[in-house]
Amino acid sequence: MIIILGKKIKEAREKMGLSIKDLAIKVDVSSSLLSQIERDLANPSLNTLRSIATQLEVPIFSFFEESKTSETEIVRHDERIRIINGKTNSKEIEQGYDLLSPDLKGAIQMCEMTLGPNQYNSDKFNRHDAEEVAVCTEESIELHLETQTILLDKGDSIRIVAGTPHRWRNPSDKKCAIIFAMTPPTF
Q: Please check whether residue 101 lies inside any domain of the structure.
A: yes
Q: Please check whether residue 14 lies inside any domain of the structure.
A: yes
pTM above 0.75, yes or no: no
Q: Is the pLDDT of residue 85 over 80?
A: no
Q: Please check whether residue 132 lies inside any domain of the structure.
A: yes
Q: Quick one: 51 and 122 in the same domain?
A: no
Of 132-136, 161-165, 171-175, 183-187, least confident by mean pLDDT is 183-187
Q: Is the pLDDT of residue 76 over 60?
A: yes
Of 2-16, 91-105, 143-157, 163-177, least confident by mean pLDDT is 91-105
Report how many domains make up the chain.
Answer: 2
Question: Among 64, 97, 113, which residue terminates a domain?
Answer: 64
Q: Is the pLDDT of residue 11 over 60?
A: yes
Task: pLDDT band for 84, please (50, 70, 90 cuts).
Answer: low
Average pLDDT over residues 68-97: 64
Query: What pLDDT score was predicted for residue 98?
Result: 86
The Cα 115–Cα 170 span in angstroms is 6
Residue from 67, 63, 69, 94 nearest 81 by CA: 63
Query: What pLDDT score was predicted for residue 87?
Result: 46
Q: pLDDT tens, 25-68?
A: 999 999 999 999 998 888 888 889 889 999 999 888 778 765 45
Looking up residue 59, the CATH number of its domain turns out to be 1.10.260.40
Q: Quick one: 55 and 108 in the same domain?
A: no
Which amino acid makes up residue 1?
Answer: M
The domain in which residue 12 lies consists of: 5-64
Q: Quick one: 173 and 103 in the same domain?
A: yes
Q: pLDDT tens, 117-170?
A: 999 988 889 888 889 999 999 999 999 999 999 999 999 999 999 999 999 999
- For the range 144-148, what are the long-range contacts, defined as Cβ-Cβ under 8 Å and sequence gap of 24 or more? 144/120, 144/168, 144/169
Greater confidence, 179 or 91?
179
Q: Quick one: 52 and 84 in the same domain?
A: no
Edge-to-edge strand ranges of the sheet holding 176-183 = 81-84, 95-99, 109-115, 176-183, 131-138, 157-160
Q: Is the pLDDT of residue 1 over 70?
A: no
Question: Among 19, 35, 64, which residue terminates a domain?
Answer: 64
Looking up residue 144, the CATH number of its domain turns out to be 2.60.120.10
Question: Among 38, 64, 90, which residue terminates a domain?
Answer: 64
Give the residue ranges of DSSP H helices in the chain: 5-16, 20-27, 31-38, 46-55
Identify the bridge partners of residue 110 per DSSP, sorted by sequence position.
181
Q: Please check whether residue 97 lies inside any domain of the structure.
A: yes
Q: Is the pLDDT of residue 184 over 50?
A: yes
